[in-house]
Amino acid sequence: MILSFKKEFKQPILDGTKIHSIREDRYNRWKEGMIIHMATGLRTKDYKQFHEGICKSIQQIEIIRVSDYWNETIVRVDGRQLDLTEIQKLAWNDGFTNLIHFWMWFNRGFVGKIIHWTDFKY
């Protein structure tokens, strides 16, 4: 299945610093063992698949914005609340250069999945 990425995430994926992707999965389509076609420019003439991987595992993620302050945001993976160090690692592993960019991206809270193409888990 295709995973579309913004161009800025291509190099971190190829470098191995972005090791998963956090996505909505309303229809529960992502499963372990699926082939991941990583691409940019989905549904445009600029479509380009740049990498292929295997979905090694799926984890549930929930980001709860308690207030506008980042230190009051709760992040749970598979029901377990992460501490600040783990949240920082999650942000880096998802391709964000810092935690502020992660908080800005998920500024309204979020419920979805972490799609892993490595053996790493939280």
> Residue 70's pLDDT is what?
66
What DSSP line would sit under the chain, residue for residue?
-EEE--GGGHHHHHHT---EEEE--TT----TT-EEEEEESTTSTT-EEEEEEE--EEEEEEEEE-SSSGGGEEEEETTEEP-HHHHHHHHHHTT-SSHHHHHHHTTT-EEEEEEESSS---
Which residues have C-beta within 8 Å of that of residue 76, sequence separation ≥ 6? 60, 61, 62, 64, 82
Give the pLDDT of the chain (122 residues) as one tens digit per residue. Answer: 999 999 999 999 999 999 999 999 999 999 999 999 999 999 999 999 999 999 999 999 999 988 777 667 899 999 999 999 999 999 999 999 999 899 889 988 899 999 999 999 99
Residue 27 lies in a domain: yes
Where in the sequence is the domain holding 35, given as residue range(s)? Answer: 2-116
Residue 92 within a domain? yes
Structural domain count, the chain? 1
122 lies in some domain: no
Question: 75: closest CA among 105, 43, 116?
Answer: 105
For residues 1 and 74, is the Cβ–Cβ distance under 8 A? no
Q: Rg (Cα) of the chain, in Å, rounded?
A: 14
